[in-house]
């Protein structure tokens, strides 16, 4: 039995991990006690250990990488620890890829994997000049100019043909009063100067009709502006991300996601136009311009800058849900063409029993 083989094994099973929420997380460390790990992958490992009866020790991959082939043919990261026989098991948000399967053994997938994008939500801002938004600046300038022009014309008409005032009236038809009368009628507040001449009344009748149309249009536009939600996320899919050029995006350099985009974008047998466009952005300046070395750096780059982070959809969804500021949202590809698995040394006799228990779950 596999459980007997593990119990009688001379050394503790060495498990190498990589911290990646929510698969592997560091629990709160009590002073003087060793670190403890938790998360979805740790739960799977614990269930396997309990059922199969083995003990294990956890180590973190020294270079904090999942593993990719190097120029000399060797591997780095967690996969490299398995290749060089320094680890018995590798577990985390570890995706099953053809290149990795050539050097290590994987269990069957215990969870589907898909590529997602982490973006920052548009910020809600309070604009003290929002009341001016319904009209363009040029239109406001034209309205102001029209008020001055009509006020001047009213003053000239009254200067050429002064109105007859009642006995004891002290109202003066000055330029200031004319301007104030025109402005007051425009904002539907009336005026103080009685203009009784026919020419002035015809002028003011036309002006009131103009003011009615402008005020009605302004009120309708302002109501629409204030009631319609202004926060619109223009990127709703990977296709939207690949087509736009305003937001730079990238992933973790030399990761499975990086390799996934490269293969889909460059391999003539799997080429996809969407991934081709994404690869041109991600590979800009040989990948050093938009990519990061760790996923945590990519998440921070999204939070504090104009950036979109392409990474495992499950990880990004967890980050977005648990963000204290609720500043993230995610989009992704619903097609899961890969999965997460547990990696073992190449030729390991324990692959089948691990596969059986990891897919069924622990007791």
Q: Environment class of residue 172 by beta-carbon count within 10 Å: exposed (0-12), middle (13-18) or buried (19+)?
A: exposed
What's the rounded Cα separation, in Å, for the pair 181 and 191?
5
Residue 100 counted as an annotated binding residue: yes
Q: How many CB atoms lie within 10 A of CB 66?
A: 26
Residue 95 counted as an annotated binding residue: yes
**Residue 296 exposure: Cα atoms within 13 Å on the Cβ side:** 8
Dig out the tokens for 54 from the structure: 């083995």
What's the rounded Cα separation, in Å, for the pair 192 and 188?
13
Element (H, E) at 185: helix 175-186
Contact (Cβ atoms closer than 8 angstroms) between residue 80 and residue 346: no
Dig out the tokens for 26 from the structure: 């560091």
**Interior CA angle at 295 toward 95 and 37, to 5°?**
75
Residue with tokens 């897919």: 359
Which letter does DSSP use for residue 95 in this model?
A: B
Nearest to 186 by CA among 165, 227, 214: 214
Residue 230 counted as an annotated binding residue: no
What's the rounded Cα separation, in Å, for the pair 224 and 164?
46
Residue 324 CA: distances (Å) to CA of 161, 302, 320, 328: 71, 15, 9, 10
Residue positions forming the annotated binding site for L-glutamate:
95, 100, 312
Residue positions forming the annotated binding site:
95, 100, 312
């Amino acid at each position: 039995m596999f459980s007997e083989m593990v119990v009688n094994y001379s050394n503790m099973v060495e498990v190498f991990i990589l911290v990646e929420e929510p698969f592997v997380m560091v629990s709160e460390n009590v002073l003087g006690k060793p670190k403890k790990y938790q998360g979805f992958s740790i739960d799977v490992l614990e269930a396997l250990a309990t059922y199969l009866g083995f003990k294990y020790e956890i180590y973190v991959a020294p270079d904090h990488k999942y593993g990719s082939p190097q120029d000399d043919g060797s591997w780095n990261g967690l996969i490299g620890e398995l290749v060089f026989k320094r680890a018995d098991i590798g577990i985390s948000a570890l995706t099953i890829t053809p290149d990795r399967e050539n050097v290590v053994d994987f269990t069957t997938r215990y969870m589907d994997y898909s590529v997602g994008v982490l973006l920052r939500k548009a910020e809600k801002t309070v604009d003290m000049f929002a009341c001016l938004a319904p009209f363009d600046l040029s239109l406001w300038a034209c309205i102001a100019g029209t008020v001055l022009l009509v006020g001047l014309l009213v003053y000239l008409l009254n200067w050429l043909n002064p109105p007859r005032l009642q006995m004891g009236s002290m109202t003066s038809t000055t330029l200031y009063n004319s301007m104030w009368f025109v402005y007051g009628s425009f904002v539907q507040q009336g005026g103080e100067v009685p203009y009784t001449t026919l020419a002035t009344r015809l002028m003011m009748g036309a002006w009131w009709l103009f003011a009615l149309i402008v005020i009605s249009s302004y009120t309708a536009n302002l109501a629409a502006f204030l009631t319609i939600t202004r926060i619109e996320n223009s990127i709703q899919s990977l296709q939207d991300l690949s087509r736009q050029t305003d937001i730079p995006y990238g992933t973790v350099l030399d990761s499975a996601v990086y390799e996934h985009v490269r293969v889909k974008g460059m391999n003539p047998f799997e080429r996809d136009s969407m991934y081709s466009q994404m690869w041109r952005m991600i590979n800009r300046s040989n990948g050093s311009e938009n990519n990061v070395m760790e996923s945590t750096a990519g998440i921070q780059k999204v939070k504090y800058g104009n950036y979109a982070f392409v990474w495992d959809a499950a990880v990004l969804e967890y980050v977005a849900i648990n963000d204290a500021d609720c500043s993230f949202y995610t989009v992704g590809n619903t097609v899961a063409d890969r999965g997460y698995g547990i990696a073992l040394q190449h030729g390991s006799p324990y692959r089948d029993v691990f596969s059986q228990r990891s897919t069924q779950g622990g007791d």
